[in-house]
Structure 1
Amino acid sequence: METLLLDGETVENNAPMESLVDAVEAAFAAYDRGDATMPPKSYVDLPQYDGDFRSMPAYLRADDWDAAGVKWVNSHPHNEERHGLPTVMGTMIYSDPETAVPLAIMDGTALTTRRTGAAAAVATDHLAVADATSMGLVGAGVQSVAQLDAVATVRPIDTVVVADADADRARAFVDAVSDRFDARVGSIAEAADCDVLSTVTPVRDPIVESVGDHTHVNAVGADAPGKHELADDLLAVAKLVVDDHAQCTHSGEINVPYGSGRLTDADIHAELGAVVTGTKAGRTPEDGVTVFDSTGLAIQDVAAAHVVYERASAAGAGTAFDLLGLGRDSA
């Protein structure tokens, strides 16, 4: 049995956002039902290179498919200035759960970008007001594009406000999406007043102090201890949903106020999987601000890889090769 090699462009071409949102939602449901196995993310710290590796394995069983895989991803903040390389690079190994055959080795960077957007869309669908038409973005990088593309599959977004410390980057973002949305550059306060807000920055001092009375926030930027985009007072009054309790309290948006005792478990409404399955309520008429703390889970990677592999296989995309030498054995 051959293995497919899928580069970043092929991954993107076979990762339609609507399909990813459905698959990622199924993954969260499986996790809540106990139909997923996801060991804690493990780290290999490399202080001599100012970086680290992270291993993210998972298995999940959805209604009519199951999947397994592991993502090997790094974070080397000085890569660009020192080596001309991306800060983050990932590789996904997608395997057949029944036989353990590696079905595909694919670019994990494009996969991560797309599945992170899809997770925010799942949260938005369950937590944002039903008639949300405006979206704010704090941060104008690649992930912000994925956030907008994904949220627009679950809400009729027509107005977009983007804020970024780099004015040129913000303008480039607006230019890139203006053929699909009424987009403009604005302040953080203007972005935060939209129906849906996604924050995608690496800051350690909160930059969003308040949002609209019924805004849903996807807090995406915090992925390590000490990172923190939203003011503690804002988090304290919001209906707070996390992707995973352990990850979020350790390295998500809530890690700083949780560590100081400003927030406790009593302030966390639910994990997203419980909201997806209906075990816990999503948005209710009484709700004001809602916040989704998104750290990124291995089940999301596996679900997204399932979509990409199935579509690429059907389209004859990628490069097939005999990784295990099984063809030689049978020759």
Structure 2
Amino acid sequence: MADKDIITKKSQEDSGNCIFINAETIRSLLSYSALIQHFRNSLPLTCASVQSPLRQNYTIDPSSSLLLMPSWSTSPSLRYIGIKIVTTFAQNSARNLPGVNASYLLFDSSTGRTLATMDGSELTHWRTACVSALAAHFLVREGAEVLVMIGAGSLAPYLIRAHLFAIPSLKKVIIWNRSPQKAQDLVKKLQEEDTSDVHFEHGNCLEEIVALGDVVSCATSSRSPLVKGSVLKAGAHLDLVGSFSPSMRECDDEAIRRGRVFVDCEAALVESGELVGAFERGIILHADIAGRLLDMVQGKKSGRNSSDEITVFKSVGSAVVDILAAQLVYETYLHGNL
């Protein structure tokens, strides 16, 4: 980045102008390695100083929601207030439109001044994928070769790319979607952009595909279980990112019963349909949850214990990782630290 560009951006900050950072710019500023490392370095240092109330979830109609995710920091190294505003419209899939749309607002915590607005959907895709990839670093067995991606929506390619970065041993990606054409289209897109030796393909029989996965990642809005725990192979890692309310569910009770379960944050215990239902039916207890992502990063909890253990990571998204991702985007934009 040229010096004059940095000066211009610094001038924007000093003048009080609010910066708009669109999706294309976010993609140019972030990398999976940088964001994963930023989370790994920053979560232990800033988590205690960030206030992040449980998300406010408002039902617009049976298939649509409005979510508000605020957070603010008292740390000198994270001098921000942030809020993400999200809409989820499940019926948009049939309209060939994104099901999730979002905006992120970033403020100066010392003055309350608006610093930037960002494409919240792009920011969410990056932070969600990198949170899953960071968890995978601790939970995926050594030598994992097959990644199964359930869902071919807008988040799927980010999850695939992040896992490919975090797990270099992966050799094959199999994609499944309710609409086979969407899975085929995503396979074609990834084949065109990928320069590695990874093989991409789509599959039709979900149970057969799940049985092949060393890593099974789910990003759907399903309200009925897709992954059957009985077909998960020994040593598999199940990554669940789709559900964010008790009415949503991507796997059955058997997957939860067989797995050693980790969560991204405490909110997953009350928002995730997979876990809320399992608690209610007595499949597992709250005490059976093995730990949070932060616990693994800090070394307080061990990740995978054996090569044949089944691990489960359930994320619902947190305002803490949102504000950390927004910090990296904003400061990289200002100072050109690519």
The interval holding the TM-score normalised by the smaller chain is 0.7 to 0.9
Residue 300 of structure 2 aligns with an amino acid whose one-letter code is: T
Q: Is 1:30–1:60's contact at 8 Å kept on the other side of the alignment?
A: no
Query: Which residue of the partner structure matches residue 12 of structure 2?
Result: none
With over 3 angstroms needed to count, the CA separation of the structure-2 counterparts of 1:50 and 1:158, relative to structure 1, is: closer
Q: Deviations over 1:2-41 (max 9, x none)?
A: 221112222222222211212233454347x623221111
**1:43 equivalenced with 2:57 (yes/no):** yes
Residue 267 of structure 2 aligns with an amino acid whose one-letter code is: A
With over 3 angstroms needed to count, the CA separation of the structure-2 counterparts of 1:74 and 1:62, relative to structure 1, is: same
Q: Is 2:244–2:271's contact at 8 Å kept on the other side of the alignment?
A: no
Q: Identity, % of aligned pairs?
A: 26
Shift of 1:171: 0.9
Instruction: Output the CA distance in 2 between the equivalents of 1:136 and 1:228.
Output: 18
SS in structure 2 opposite 1:214?
coil
With over 3 angstroms needed to count, the CA separation of the structure-2 counterparts of 1:142 and 1:88, relative to structure 1, is: closer
SS in structure 2 opposite 1:73?
strand
Instruction: Output the CA distance in 1 between the equivalents of 2:31 and 2:253.
Output: 36
Q: Deviations over 1:130-151 (max 9, x none)?
A: 3223211111222111111111
SS in structure 2 opposite 1:103?
strand
Shift of 1:81: 6.6
The CA RMSD measured in Å over matched residues stands at 2.6
Query: Which residue of the partner structure matches residue 23 of structure 2?
Result: 8
* Larger relative contact order (CA 8 Å, sep ≥ 6): 1
Instruction: Please give the TM-score of this superposition, normalised by the length of structure 1.
Output: 0.86
Instruction: Please give the TM-score of this superposition, normalised by the length of structure 2.
Output: 0.84
Query: Which residue of the partner structure matches residue 131 of structure 2?
Result: 119
Q: Is 2:236–2:308's contact at 8 Å kept on the other side of the alignment?
A: no
Unpaired runs of 5+ residues, structure 1, are 317-331
Instruction: Output the CA distance in 2 between the equivalents of 1:252 and 1:309.
Output: 34
Query: Which residue of the partner structure matches residue 34 of structure 2?
Result: 19
Q: Is 1:71–1:108's contact at 8 Å kept on the other side of the alignment?
A: yes
**Correspondences of 1:72-87 after superposition (within 5 Å):** 72-78=85-91, 86-87=98-99
With over 3 angstroms needed to count, the CA separation of the structure-2 counterparts of 1:202 and 1:43, relative to structure 1, is: closer
Q: Is 2:173–2:200's contact at 8 Å kept on the other side of the alignment?
A: yes
Match of 1:224 among 219, 224, 245: 245
Residue 216 of structure 2 aligns with an amino acid whose one-letter code is: L
Instruction: Output the CA distance in 1 between the equivalents of 2:139 and 2:177.
Output: 25
Instruction: Output the CA distance in 1 between the equivalents of 2:76 and 2:142.
Output: 27
SS in structure 2 opposite 1:307?
helix
